């Protein structure tokens, strides 16, 4: 196992860079998709609401590997894309369904009175949503979004079946050459574990920072002193 680490260090290092790029792009697209779908699901329009429900139900009810293959070959028929970008779009569409539910729950958790107060001041709906509701919703969505991002990092390994040389795809190629599948996959697992631990640390620090800012912005409640007889 040590020999595999030393011999293929740069190959796995390049694969790690590919994994991070794939994860970052797919998750940024997933946030955009999820936010749009969340608004569609909250819309009073039955057609828009129904379209969002169908999308979420189909994505959450089918395996990711099937979605990857379906979307990859479907996208390839419409537009010529590299396997990297096709895989990133497929991962974004998959993660977008879960991100949409996270955003929907976070938005609905904000007290409706805040939106009503903002509208009573003459502020338009979308401006009230952007300035009042969404900042608070994003803060509450950070913990579940962090978990979803970690899941997205691990899900990116399936893009290897589209020909992308990320960590798992590189491990597939290496084990086919050295005939040491167990040792090679252990090394690949170590790389994933390190990335997940770093990602978890960053998310925890972000949560702690948001908690500090929240406590700092909260008004202090005066303490009542009672005179003793």
pTM for the model stands at 0.84
CA angle 66, 16, 208 (to 5 degrees): 95
Sign of torsion over alpha carbons 153, 157, 163, 169: positive
pLDDT surpasses 70 at 158: yes
Task: Give the whole-angstrom CA distance, residue 216 versus residue 16.
Answer: 38
pLDDT surpasses 90 at 211: no
Region 165-182: mean pLDDT is 90
**Higher model confidence: residue 182 or residue 211?**
182
Q: Look at residues 146, 153, 149 and name the one whose alpha carbon lies nearest to residue 195.
A: 153
Task: Give the whole-angstrom CA distance, residue 64 versus residue 88.
Answer: 13
pLDDT band per the 50, 70, 90 thresholds, residue 185: very high
The fraction of the chain above a pLDDT of 90, given in percent, is: 48
Sign of torsion over alpha carbons 145, 146, 149, 155: negative
pLDDT band per the 50, 70, 90 thresholds, residue 1: confident
Mean pLDDT of the residues in the chain: 86
Confidence (pLDDT) at 216: 67
Region 80-102: mean pLDDT is 90
Task: Assess contact for 143 and 202: CB atoms under 8 A.
Answer: no
Question: Mind listing the pLDDT tens digit for each residue in 29-49?
Answer: 999 999 999 999 998 899 999
Q: Which fold has domain 2-216?
A: MetI-like fold (1.10.3720)
pLDDT surpasses 80 at 107: yes
Confidence (pLDDT) at 226: 44
Task: Assess contact for 182 and 196: CB atoms under 8 A.
Answer: no
pLDDT band per the 50, 70, 90 thresholds, residue 103: very high
């Amino acid at each position: 196992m040590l020999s595999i680490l030393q011999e293929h260090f740069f190959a796995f290092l390049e694969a790690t860079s590919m994994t991070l790029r794939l994860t970052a792009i797919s998750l940024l697209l997933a946030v955009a998709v999820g936010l749009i779908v969340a608004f569609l699901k909250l819309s009073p329009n039955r057609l828009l609401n129904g379209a969002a429900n169908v999308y979420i139900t189909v994505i959450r009810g089918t395996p990711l590997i099937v979605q990857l293959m379906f979307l990859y070959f479907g996208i390839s028929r419409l537009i010529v894309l590299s396997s990297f970008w096709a895989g990133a779009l497929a991962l974004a569409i998959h993660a977008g369904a879960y991100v949409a539910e996270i955003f929907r729950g976070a938005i609905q958790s904000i007290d409706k009175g805040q939106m009503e107060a903002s509208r009573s001041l003459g502020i338009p709906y979308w401006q009230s949503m952007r300035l009042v509701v969404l900042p608070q919703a994003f803060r509450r969505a950070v913990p579940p979004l962090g978990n979803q991002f970690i899941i997205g990092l691990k899900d990116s390994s399936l893009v290897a079946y589209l020909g992308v040389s990320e960590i798992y795809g590189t491990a597939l190629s290496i084990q086919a050459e050295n005939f040491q599948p167990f040792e090679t996959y252990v090394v690949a697992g170590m790389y994933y574990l390190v990335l997940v631990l770093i990602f978890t640390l960053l998310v925890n620090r972000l949560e702690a920072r948001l908690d500090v800012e929240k406590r700092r912005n909260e008004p202090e409640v005066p303490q009542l002193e009672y005179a003793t007889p």
